[in-house]
């Protein structure tokens, strides 16, 4: 038996819908995949990067209120978020980046 995303504090239907598109269909699977890999997959699937969305997921999987992220912890998470975002974009697997490559707006990665 699997648990719905709503069993995880701070996560609702919008996150559940986004994650379903990348094959994460339960709270258990989300916990198994983890925050960073889930967010990387979301970016590669074309989700627009948004720092708040990232740290909400971090806090949710820790069972903490979304607005509990502050100070040095938030600064550290921003560095991780920026790294995940850069990696996802550099890989060129995001739907938006693929489209830009196809129409010649971005130079293809070497």
Q: How many domains does the chain have?
A: 1
In SS3 terms, 36-68 reads as HHHHHHHHHCCCCCCHHHHHHHHHHHCCCCHHH
Q: Is the CB of residue 56 less than 8 Å from the CB of residue 74?
A: no
In a domain, 56, yes or no: yes
In a domain, 107, yes or no: no
* Domain of 82, in residue numbers: 5-102
pLDDT-derived band at 86 (thresholds 50, 70, 90) equals confident
In a domain, 9, yes or no: yes
Q: What CATH number corresponds to the domain at position 20?
A: 1.10.150.20
pLDDT of amino acid 73: 95
pLDDT in tens, 38-81: 999 999 888 888 999 999 999 999 999 999 999 999 999 999 99
Dihedral class, residue 11 (left if φ above 0, else alpha if ψ from -120 to 50, else beta):
beta
In a domain, 108, yes or no: no
In a domain, 55, yes or no: yes
Q: Is the CB of residue 31 less than 8 Å from the CB of residue 39?
A: no
* Angle at alpha carbon of residue 66, lines to 62 and 71, rounded to 5°: 90
């Amino acid at each position: 038996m699997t648990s719905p995303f709503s069993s995880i504090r701070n996560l609702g239907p919008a996150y559940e819908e986004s994650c379903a598109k990348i094959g994460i269909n339960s709270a258990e699977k989300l916990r198994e995949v983890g925050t960073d890999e889930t967010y990387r997959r979301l970016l590669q699937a074309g989700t627009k990067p948004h720092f708040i969305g990232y740290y909400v997921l971090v806090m949710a999987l820790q069972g903490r209120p979304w607005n509990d992220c502050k100070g040095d912890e938030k600064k550290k998470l921003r560095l991780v978020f920026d790294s995940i975002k850069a990696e996802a974009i550099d890989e060129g697997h995001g739907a938006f980046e693929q489209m830009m490559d196809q129409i010649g707006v971005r130079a293809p990665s070497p």
